[in-house]
């Protein structure tokens, strides 16, 4: 069976202008997402990891059209229709929103404090005009049961401030999944939750993803979480994907010096393991009009003159779908 790609992104770019001077001229741009290419097969999930400011959230927002891309193409194909996301008309947006949803990091901010749980979850159904009132009510109760907020009747008319962080995030998940999307961008949905609550939310997302054949683009800064949530893994650095492939393969045989630095910097919950220090210099900078060379050049432990004088290396297949963007590996 040939596996079809649900999302195909090619050469995606998003530049944000930096205003300066007395006339607010914009001569400089932050290259938040710069020539990013990847695809997500139907029913599979991709974890996107990187430090803060690497462009991972921007990538996620581009894919659900919360940002307009500066350039590149995004194709969405659920088997029934193929949608050109980069040039999606406003009119067609509503149809697309039925298929693609987003879950945000902070459930304290993403839920309207004046809306009850019922209002929040039924809203997408109202917007999409799905079902009549009786059906919508039934559907909301069903969603609450699915996200383990039981009995639903005790949660329906609560406000967000009456819920705990974990419960709020479950409401956000119910709201995203209520229209039966096939693709969900999840932007650090568990990073604000306690460990004992976090695992429950991650397991819930995996279980519902399996059951309803939802693909996630799971955005996180935590490699261990990324491993748990996605079969595929893409590592982002300053607007570029520097390494990508099967999650276990990338974790076991990370090739890019940045991936390797990250891997050796993750604390391990095992007192027997002693990690080697990460060989990496300095900290992350903002990609404002970045120079024509490898983005990682300044911090790279193995860079040389070739890296300095050539453009950012292309993402190359180093075997079995394991891609990396480095001249030195």
Partner 1 sequence: MGNPLLEVENLTMQYTIRGGEVTAVENVSFSVSEGEALGIVGESGSGKSSMAISLMKLLPENARILGGKILLRGMDLAPLSEEEIRPYRGRRIAMVFQAAMNSLDPVYRTGDQIIEALQNHYQDMNHTAARARVAELFNLVDLDPALMDRYPHQLSGGMRQRAVIAMALACNPDIIIADEPTTALDVIVQDTILRKLKQLQERDKLGMIYISHDIAVVCEVSQRIAIMYAGRIMEIAGTKDLFVQPRHPYTCSLLNAFPSIIGPKRQLLSLPGESPDLLHPPSGCRFHPRCPRVLDLCRREAPPDTDYGNGHLAACYHPMGTDS
- Contacting positions for partner 1 (CB under 8 A): 51-52, 164, 166-167, 194-200, 202-203, 221-225, 227-228, 248, 251, 261-273, 275, 277-278, 280, 283-284
What are the C-alpha distances in Å from 293 to residues 6, 72, 257?
Answer: 32, 20, 16
- The least CB distance from residue 143 to partner 1, in Å, is 19
> Which SS3 state, helix, strand or coil, does residue 15 take?
strand
Kindly tell me which of 9 and 223 has the beta carbon lying closer to partner 1. Answer: 223
Kindly tell me which of 212 and 228 has the beta carbon lying closer to partner 1. Answer: 228
For the record, the structure tokens of 275 come out as 């990690």
- The least CB distance from residue 162 to partner 1, in Å, is 12
- The least CB distance from residue 135 to partner 1, in Å, is 31
Question: What is the radius of gyration, based on Cα positions, of the chain?
Answer: 21
Q: Residues in the chain, how many?
A: 329
- State the DSSP H helix or E strand holding residue 92, giving kind and residue range, or none if neither: helix 90-97
- The least CB distance from residue 98 to partner 1, in Å, is 30
CA distance 304 to 4: 40
Kindly tell me which of 228 and 327 has the beta carbon lying closer to partner 1. Answer: 228
Kindly tell me which of 21 and 269 has the beta carbon lying closer to partner 1. Answer: 269
For the record, the structure tokens of 166 come out as 């974990």
Give the DSSP letter of residue 179.
Answer: T
Neighbours of 285 (CB within 10 A): 12
For the record, the structure tokens of 74 come out as 């995004």
**Phi, then psi, of 311 in degrees rounded to 5:** -65, 170
Place of tokens 């800064």: 221
- The least CB distance from residue 173 to partner 1, in Å, is 14
- The least CB distance from residue 167 to partner 1, in Å, is 8
CA distance 30 to 235: 19
SS (H, E, C) 63-116: HCCCCCCCEEEEEEECCCCEEEHHHCCHHHHHHHHCCEEEECCCHHHHCCCCCC
For the record, the structure tokens of 173 come out as 């998940």
Kindly tell me which of 73 and 264 has the beta carbon lying closer to partner 1. Answer: 264
- Crossing angle of helices 90-97 and 117-128, in 10° steps, is 130
Kindly tell me which of 62 and 262 has the beta carbon lying closer to partner 1. Answer: 262
Kindly tell me which of 153 and 196 has the beta carbon lying closer to partner 1. Answer: 196
Return the bridge partners of 16, or none: 30
- The least CB distance from residue 307 to partner 1, in Å, is 19
- The least CB distance from residue 232 to partner 1, in Å, is 14
Kindly tell me which of 198 and 295 has the beta carbon lying closer to partner 1. Answer: 198
Kindly tell me which of 103 and 223 has the beta carbon lying closer to partner 1. Answer: 223
CA distance 33 to 77: 22
- The least CB distance from residue 171 to partner 1, in Å, is 14
């Amino acid at each position: 069976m040939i596996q079809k790609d649900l999302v195909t992104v090619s050469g995606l770019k998003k530049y944000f202008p930096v205003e300066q001077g007395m006339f607010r001229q914009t001569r400089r741009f932050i290259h938040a997402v710069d020539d990013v290419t990847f695809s997500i097969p139907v029913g599979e999930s991709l974890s996107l990891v990187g430090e803060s400011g690497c462009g991972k959230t921007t990538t996620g927002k581009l894919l659900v059209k919360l940002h307009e891309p500066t350039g590149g193409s995004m194709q969405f194909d659920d088997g029934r229709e193929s949608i050109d996301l980069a040039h999606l008309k406003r009119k067609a947006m509503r149809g697309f929103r039925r298929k693609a949803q987003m879950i945000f990091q902070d459930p304290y901010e993403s839920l309207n404090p004046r809306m009850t749980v019922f209002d929040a979850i039924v809203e997408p159904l109202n917007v999409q005009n799905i079902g009549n009132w009786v059906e919508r009510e039934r559907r909301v109760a069903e969603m609450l049961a699915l996200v383990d907020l039981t009995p639903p009747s005790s949660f329906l008319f609560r406000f967000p401030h009456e819920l705990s962080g974990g419960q709020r995030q479950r409401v956000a998940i119910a709201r995203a999944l209520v229209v039966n999307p096939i693709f969900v961008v999840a932007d650090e949905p568990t990073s604000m939750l306690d460990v004992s609550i976090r695992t429950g939310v991650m397991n819930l997302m995996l279980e519902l993803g399996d059951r309803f054949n939802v693909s996630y683009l799971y955005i996180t800064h935590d490699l261990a979480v990324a491993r748990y949530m996605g079969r595929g893994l893409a590592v982002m650095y300053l607007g570029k994907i520097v390494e990508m492939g099967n999650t276990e393969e990338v974790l076991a045989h990370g090739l890019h010096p940045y991936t390797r630095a990250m891997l050796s910097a993750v604390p391990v919950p095992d007192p027997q393991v002693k990690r080697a220090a990460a060989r990496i210099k300095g900290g992350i900078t903002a990609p404002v009009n970045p120079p024509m060379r490898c983005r990682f050049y300044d911090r790279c432990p193995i860079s040389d003159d070739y890296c300095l004088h050539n453009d950012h290396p292309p993402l190359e297949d180093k075997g079995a779908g394991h891609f990396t963007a480095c001249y030195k590996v």
